[in-house]
Amino acid sequence: MSAEANTTAVPSLYELFLQVPDARHARGIRHKLAALLTLTATAMLAGAKTLTDIAEFGRHRRKLAKAIGITHKKPPCISTFHYLFKGLDAKKFEATLECWLLAHHASALQAANVHIDGKALCGSRQGEIPGLHLVAAYTDKLGIVLAQLPVNAKTNEHKAALTLLKLIALEGTLVSGDAAFTQKDFSQEVLDGGGDYFLTVKDNQPGLKQAILDAFDAPFSPCGKSGTPAGLANRHDA
């Protein structure tokens, strides 16, 4: 099968958004849901972060908006996006984007390096209300987040990451992360999925750190003598 045929078989973002149910009231609808969501995703990929950014993106790119499916003579305004997102199922929107990404970049994601990390969402904290904390799987090969989950106040990054690993393809993947994920169940989940892991070990896990040092207790010496080189011995005693 030719490369052109493979490309044709991959659905477009608009085609995938056609499968998202429209929760809007039928009365007064001017723009198709798939067109609005495609315009939103395109604007976000171009750097839009607010409703104003998304509306202005469509207003200043009318030819592009028309090609996406915005057929009304007036492009969608801020209030249109406000009411759209108010009733939109965010998980379905994210799942559609993920489906589109995997369909178009499946080969690039094979044997990719994935980094697991937790971050507080900037600007989500309001006074005494704690900010939203997320744990995400990021691939530098495409420069994107493959999947992310909120960290519940009653759990931690490590537990949330166990669920996150089930959302991404692990076959042939090298998963890296900081010391928060250096846990047996996390490592086993990666191995069970067909991947490998590269994790950080710090002083707050003295038993594990010592076991690693002991495993390298008598490495090959460049001078031909057996025993532990001075540099490793110093680290061993630290």
Q: Give tens-digit pLDDT for 149-204.
A: 888 766 688 888 999 898 888 888 899 999 889 999 999 999 999 999 999 888 88
| Structure confidence at residue 233 as a pLDDT band (50, 70, 90) | very low
Q: What percent of the chain has pLDDT over 70?
A: 79
Domain boundaries, the chain: 3-104, 106-200
CB–CB of 48/57 below 8 Å? Answer: yes
What torsion do the CA atoms of 100, 105, 107, 112 make, to the nearest 10 degrees? -110
- Top CATH class of 106-200 equals alpha beta
Q: pTM score > 0.85 for this model? A: no
pLDDT in tens, 49-87: 899 999 999 999 999 999 988 988 888 999 999 988 888
